[in-house]
Amino acid sequence: MTDSQPHALIIGAGAIGSFYGAILKRAGCTVSAVVRSEYEAIKANGFQFESPLGDISWSPDHLYKDGDTPDVVPDYVILATKVLPGSDRAALVKPWVGEGTRIVLIQNGLDIERELADAYPDNPIISCLAFVAVSRQGPGRIKHNAYGRLVMGRFPKGADAHCEALRDLFVAGGIDIKLADDVVRERWLKCVWNTPFNPLSVLANGADTLTMLDAPGGEKLVRELMDEVMATAAADGYPLPPQLPDSNIEGTRKMPAYKNSMALDYLNGRPIELDAILGNVVAIAQKHDVAVPRLETMLAALRMRA
């Protein structure tokens, strides 16, 4: 593996990927990156950050273009792309995965690990949920607005020494990590908010959280959508706290109105993670014969958009 310091390679070094790359760099890791576009800007100037953490700008130790052949096998391959139909994530990481390489997913949604776990049964899959507000300002320029916490666990279960080692690196880099024995349950918990609010914001043409809740019938619909997600989770073996919809809505009402990441993707003409956030939940509901008419309505309507 490595001699002195761990080597992490970020695939999909957008705002999220380059942020966690910055943290690992601060922890003393060798950090490389594979980028699809913006290669020249990043080669010249690295990743330029504005952040409440201070100066976390960094330059990759190795910068690769999509399609390059690796000259080292990293300890950690960190996949931080969006989860979109037609992106073959198993193929994307293939050149960089060697014996013992930990495959780290920092990605949204539910049931997004299986594809990698099936393709790399002998590599540890570390699944992470990011709670971070970052946004791209220009080529290689990222604004870190707030937060940074990761919830992290082995897929499908457990939080072993691989997770602990990576946790220690992120903590050394300055962010908070929660190790989760059951990361799939953590994904379900996050879906109770995301699966209703994110697609709904797109159907509502980019509406913010309070506009959605305050529309006639809005809060009622959000709550019913959350109940459908909860029922699906329970049928899939993940009973969640019954007060979660209430506390989610209450928490959302206490925050200023904001546009969620899927609303922003939609408004900026970028593809949305419809399957990762909604389609996979509906598929699990259908597998278990759970009635999710409202989730299905959102999904079909969004799939009708060309």
Residue 300 binds to its own copies (criterion: CB under 8 A): yes
Q: What angle, rounded to 10 degrees, do the helices at 183-203 and 293-303 form?
A: 60
Residue 91 phi/psi, 5-degree rounding, is -70, -35
**Which of 255, 250, 252, 228 lies closest to 240 in space, CA to CA?**
228
What is the footprint of its own copies within residues 76-135 (CB under 8 A)? Answer: none
Contact (Cβ atoms closer than 8 angstroms) between residue 257 and residue 201: no
Q: How far is the CB of 200 from its own copies (least distance, A)?
A: 6
Figure out which of the listed residues 207, 249, 262, 284 binds its own copies, where binding follows CB under 8 A: 207
Residue 306 binds to its own copies (criterion: CB under 8 A): yes
The token duo for 197 is 């609010």
Residue 301 binds to its own copies (criterion: CB under 8 A): yes
Q: How far is the CB of 225 from its own copies (least distance, A)?
A: 8
**Distant-in-sequence, close-in-space partners of 144: CB < 8 Å, separation ≥ 6:** 19, 49, 50, 51, 52, 53, 56, 132, 133, 134
Considering the complex, state which of residue 161 and residue 304 has its C-beta at the smaller distance from its own copies: 304
Contact (Cβ atoms closer than 8 angstroms) between residue 168 and residue 76: no
For the chain, give me the number of helices (H) and strands (E)? 13, 9
Residue 264 binds to its own copies (criterion: CB under 8 A): no
Distance, in Å, from the CA atom of 58 to the CA atom of 60, rounded to the nearest integer, reads: 7
The token duo for 118 is 């099936």
Figure out which of the listed residues 13, 106, 200, 290 binds its own copies, where binding follows CB under 8 A: 200
Residue 304 binds to its own copies (criterion: CB under 8 A): yes
Considering the complex, state which of residue 171 and residue 300 has its C-beta at the smaller distance from its own copies: 300
Binding segment toward its own copies, per CB under 8 A, in 73-81, 90-98, 249-257, 289-297: 289-297
For the window 36-55, what string marks contact with its own copies as x by the rule CB under 8 A?
--------------------
Alpha carbon distance, N-terminus to C-terminus of the chain = 46
Q: How far is the CB of 221 from its own copies (least distance, A)?
A: 4
Binding segment toward its own copies, per CB under 8 A, in 38-46, 66-74, 214-222, 251-259: 214-222
Figure out which of the listed residues 203, 235, 257, 264 binds its own copies, where binding follows CB under 8 A: 203
Q: Where are the beta strands (DSSP E) in the chain?
A: 7-11, 30-35, 48-50, 63-65, 76-79, 102-106, 125-138, 141-154, 177-179
Q: How far is the CB of 304 from its own copies (least distance, A)?
A: 4
Considering the complex, state which of residue 91 and residue 304 has its C-beta at the smaller distance from its own copies: 304
Distance, in Å, from the CA atom of 205 to the CA atom of 28, rounded to the nearest integer, reads: 43
Residue 268 binds to its own copies (criterion: CB under 8 A): no
Q: Within a 10 A sphere around the Cβ of 172, how many other Cβ atoms?
A: 14
Considering the complex, state which of residue 189 and residue 284 has its C-beta at the smaller distance from its own copies: 284
Beta bridge partners of 178: 151
What is the footprint of its own copies within residues 217-246 (CB under 8 A)? Answer: 217-218, 220-221, 224
Q: How far is the CB of 145 from its own copies (least distance, A)?
A: 24
Q: How far is the CB of 248 from its own copies (least distance, A)?
A: 17
Q: Which 3 state secondary structure label does DSSP give 47? A: strand
Distance, in Å, from the CA atom of 276 to the CA atom of 83, rounded to the nearest integer, reads: 6
- In the complex, which residues of this chain contact its own copies (CB under 8 A)? 200, 203-205, 207, 211-212, 215-218, 220-221, 224, 293-294, 296-306
